[in-house]
């Protein structure tokens, strides 16, 4: 299934230029913490207990 063009996704979620500027402003902070953010998201996904998803994550040992 091909991904929607980003412009269409932005329209769907009413993503404004102000939203873009906000994201740009936090980028330096997020970049420094990217590894911890990814690890926290993965831990949260695993904690939900979906065995199918957890097995898929185990196959990707390159993930933190």
What value, to the nearest 5°, has the Cα angle with vertex 5 and ends 23 and 11? Answer: 60
pLDDT at residue 61 greater than cutoff 70: no
| Tens-place pLDDT, residues 5-58 | 888 989 999 999 999 999 999 999 999 999 999 889 988 988 998 999 888 878
pLDDT at residue 64 greater than cutoff 70: no
pTM score: 0.55
CA-wise closest residue to 44 among 53, 33, 34, 31? 53
Concatenated DSSP letters of 1-43: -PPPPHHHHHHHTT--HHHHHHHHHHHHHHHHTHHHHHHHHHH
pLDDT value, residue 62: 67
Task: Please state, in angstroms and rounded to a whole number, the distance separating the CA atoms of residues 59 and 25.
Answer: 35
């Amino acid at each position: 299934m091909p991904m929607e063009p980003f412009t269409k996704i932005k329209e769907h979620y009413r993503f404004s230029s102000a939203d873009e500027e906000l994201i740009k402003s936090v980028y330096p902070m997020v970049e420094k913490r990217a590894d911890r953010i990814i690890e926290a998201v993965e831990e949260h996904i695993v904690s939900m207990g979906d065995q199918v998803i957890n097995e898929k994550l185990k196959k990707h040992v390159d993930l933190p």
